[in-house]
């Protein structure tokens, strides 16, 4: 430590002149890690459950889904274009 006084900010490493010893995470960090693990258990179990039930769609089902999504995207695009056009017609000029 430089200067010889004050706190050491190397919390993860205890250093002497000849010996470097790496310590584990602090108690606060370990509690936080456990809290995060517990909070992720539920969502991870839900994801695993969904993946077990899920299956690859057949070609016909995939084609139908692609058509429906494409149609929805086109309708939203046209709707957005109409709003933009009306904005320029009524507010810009």
Domains of the chain: which residue ranges?
A: 13-54, 57-93
Mean of pLDDT over the chain: 83
Most confident residue range from 26-30, 48-52, 63-67:
63-67
- Cα–Cα distance, 40 to 75 (Å, whole number): 38
pTM over 0.75: no
Q: Which residue has the higher pLDDT, 25 or 68?
A: 68
Q: What is the DSSP letter of 72?
A: H
pLDDT of residue 92: 82
pLDDT by residue (tens digit) across 16-30?
A: 555 555 567 788 888
> What is the distance between the alpha carbons of residues 81 and 89, in angstroms, rounded to a whole number?
12
| CB distance 26 to 11 below 8 Å | yes
* Residue 34: pLDDT over 70: yes
């Amino acid at each position: 430590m430089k200067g010889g006084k004050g706190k050491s900010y190397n919390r993860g490493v205890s250093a002497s002149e000849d010996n470097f010893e790496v310590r584990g995470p602090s108690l606060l960090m370990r509690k936080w890690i456990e809290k995060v693990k517990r909070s992720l258990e539920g969502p991870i179990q839900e994801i695993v459950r969904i993946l077990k039930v899920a299956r690859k769609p057949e070609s016909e089902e995939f084609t139908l889904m692609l058509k429906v999504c494409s149609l929805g995207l086109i309708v939203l695009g046209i709707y957005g274009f109409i709003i933009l056009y009306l904005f320029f017609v009524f507010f810009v000029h």
